[in-house]
Chains A and B, each alone.
Chain A
Amino acid sequence: ETGVTQTPRHLVMGMTNKKSLKCEQHLGHNAMYWYKQSAKKPLELMFVYSLEERVENNSVPSRFSPECPNSSHLFLHLHTLQPEDSALYLCASSQDWVAGSSSPLHFGNGTRLTVT
């Protein structure tokens, strides 16, 4: 399998639940990202990992907790979310990460999250 794979594709959770999103990349890339995509809004960068080290955290609420156990896998742990957190969560990877660089991003197909 090639590319960036995200699971699950769809997730419905209550505000008191704990769930995790999974991302796996088969491209040999060194950087991985979590983005939030809401309708009619720009993609919001949440977290960046480079060589398994978190290099960027854009003021994301603590109810979102990322984990990067190795360069191929990225998780987003979710707990006590709010209805406004409902969105498409996209994982991406790039060959390397350099702040402000134009390294092409390879995206997964996303997890559509609904918080009830």
Chain B
Amino acid sequence: TQLLEQSPQFLSIQEGENLTVYCNSSSVFSSLQWYRQEPGEGPVLLVTVVTGGEVKKLKRLTFQFGDARKDSSLHITAAQPGDTGLYLCAGAGGNKLVFGAGTILRVKS
């Protein structure tokens, strides 16, 4: 069974701080997606990483796929209240897409 563990489960920070959230597995994935889910809404895709070691940037968000394609990280620089939400990673491998339980991020102004 493929599992994705996300850490931390919950993170509360002040506006302007930097943070990193992690998505780890013992399984290899062909690709990995990151979604953000705001309260009362469905998840929205932020990025897909495909190649081991790949780094993608989306404004203040930096996504990295591990060299072995078993883990990924999301780094946010100078967090803003609008970054508040549930961050989900999802790995594609085997015959299905596997989701992690998510990291709840709260950015206080």
| Count of chain A to chain B residue pairs whose CB atoms are closer than 8 Å in the complex | 57
Contact with A along B37-72 (1 / 0, CB 8 A): 000111111001010000000000000000000000
Please report which residues of chain B, range 58-109, place their CB below 8 angstroms from some CB of chain A when the two chains form the complex: 88, 90, 92-102
Q: Is the CB of A100 within 8 A of B93?
A: yes
Q: Is the CB of B42 within 8 A of A107?
A: yes
Please report which residues of chain A, range 1-27, place their CB below 8 angstroms from some CB of chain B when the two chains form the complex: 4
Tell me if A32 is interfacial: C-beta within 8 Å of chain B. no
The one of A40, A45, A104, A105 that contacts B9, using a Cβ cutoff of 8 Å:
A40
Name the prevailing secondary structure of the A interface residues. Answer: loop
Chain B contacts for A101, CB-based, 8 A: 92, 97
Chain A contacts for B96, CB-based, 8 A: 45, 56, 99-100
Q: How large is the interface on B (under 10, 10 to 19, 20 to 34, 35 or more residues)?
A: 20 to 34
Chain B contacts for A107, CB-based, 8 A: 35, 42-44
Q: How many A residues touch B, CB cutoff 8 Å? A: 20
Q: Is the CB of A102 within 8 A of B101?
A: no
Bound-complex Cα distance A107 to B37 (A): 10
Q: A42-B4, A43-B88 are in contact. Are A90 and B42 (CB under 8 A)?
A: yes
11 A–B contact pairs at CB < 8 A?
Answer: A4-B42, A41-B101, A42-B100, A42-B101, A43-B88, A100-B93, A100-B94, A104-B33, A105-B33, A110-B41, A110-B42
B contact set with A: CB distance below 8 Å: 4, 9, 30-31, 33, 35, 40-45, 48, 50, 88, 90, 92-102
A contact set with B: CB distance below 8 Å: 4, 40-43, 45, 56, 90, 92, 99-102, 104-110
